[in-house]
Amino acid sequence: MSHLLAEFTTLRLGGPARRVVTAGSTAELVDAVRTADAQGERLLVIGGGSNLVVGDDGWDGVVVLVRNTDVVVRTDSERAQITVDAGVTWDDLVADTVAQEFSGLAAMSGIPGSTGGTPVQNVGAYGIEVADVISEVRVLDRHTGELEDWPAARCAFAFRSSAFKHTDRYVVLTVTLTLPQSPDAPPIRYAELARRLGVEIGEAAPSKDVREAVLALRASKGMVLDEPDPDTWSVGSFFVNPFVEPDLVPEGCPHWATDEGIKLSAAWLIEHAGFGKGFGLDRGDGRVALSTKHTLALTNRGGATTAELLELAANIRDGVERRFGIRLRPEAHLVGVQF
């Protein structure tokens, strides 16, 4: 039976898949991938679908849904080592670690999707990245068919990137995190979050308070999934914050010095290039538009197509480049489309 991939993406976009397989355990995930590869089938592996833009033509091959959900916790007097199956819902994991007073994940509360996607994208929020806490990633190498345990250093983590991001060679099976045992989150690095918590940058705060503040901030920007709210029918930030040389920072643009260069606010660039909250294609149907809460989120307002969403994205990308000479690139994973 044909499935629309829109069923498995937070954008609610994507055409049909020829065959869908659900992998409820790590062994089933490995077997499904090896079987597809042995039979020469086109393979698409989907976890939470929160960072996925699939073309309207769909996927002429097998789709494997990652639904393994085991979590193993080992502790000593100072830290917890948590090995998490790829299919575990990320925010459920964050909530559990906060409840157990394991420190390090609270600032990444509310990020949609599954745990297996976090090292691929090196997800992060409010100054914290999963690269800060990942100690090992177990992967299936599709070229050799073997399982490999990668230490963090091998993963080549960078801003919203990793060794896994631009290749389909590796399938993430489990992620191992090492977290300090403490009721407090790491020192707050992000001014907006510090103001919300009433602390100074560099000060600590209880993880439970950080989680509540982050969830509130993300919800105010439409970045927490909410079934009836089209502002959350997105892939979160469609564009990644760009890096430029110091002399290319536009006047007034928020920016941060990092090891990779000067990072700019893509949301600011978009808005100051003339694309405000709620901006949509000039067609009168309102089926795709920027979120009314945040200019980095491109949303399906209902009944849209992927082609329409990408047309809007291209208009914004090209408009920013005309205005500032800076070309935005997508943070989302694009399948079966050109952009």
pLDDT tens column, 94-125: 999 999 999 999 999 999 999 999 999 999 99
Pairing of strands 59-66, 43-46: parallel
Handedness of CA 28, 131, 161, 6 (dihedral sign): positive
Q: What is the pLDDT of residues 130-142, one digit of tens each?
A: 999 999 999 999 9
Q: What is the pLDDT of residues 293-308, one digit of tens each?
A: 999 999 999 999 999 9
C-alpha to C-alpha distances, 43 to 19, 116, 193, 227, 243, nearest whole angstrom: 10, 17, 40, 29, 33
Whether 137 contacts 175, CB under 8 Å: yes
C-alpha to C-alpha distances, 111 to 69, 108, 206, 238, nearest whole angstrom: 17, 6, 19, 14
pLDDT band at 285 (very low <50, low <70, confident <90, very high): confident
Catalytic pick among 160, 211, 218, 317: 160
Whether 260 contacts 146, CB under 8 Å: no
C-alpha to C-alpha distances, 22 to 3, 27, 64, 252, nearest whole angstrom: 12, 12, 6, 48
- φ/ψ of 162, rounded to 5, equals -165, 180
The token pair at 50 is 């929160």
Q: What is the pLDDT of residues 60-87, one digit of tens each?
A: 999 999 999 999 999 999 999 999 999 9
How high is the pLDDT of residue 126? 93
As a whole-number percent, the residues of the chain with pLDDT over 70 amount to 99
Strands (E), 115-161: 124-125, 128-129, 134-141, 146-151
Looking up tokens 């893509």 gives 266
Strands (E), 276-318: 288-290, 298-300
Largest CA distance in the chain: 61
Catalytic pick among 50, 109, 162, 237: 237
How high is the pLDDT of residue 167? 94
* CATH numbers and ranges of domains, the chain: 3-66 (3.30.43.10), 71-220 (3.30.465.10), 230-335 (3.90.78.10)
pLDDT band at 286 (very low <50, low <70, confident <90, very high): confident
- The enclosing H or E element of 64 equals strand 59-66
Is 160 a residue of the active site? yes
Is 329 a residue of the active site? no
Is 195 a residue of the active site? no
Catalytic pick among 136, 271, 308, 331: 331
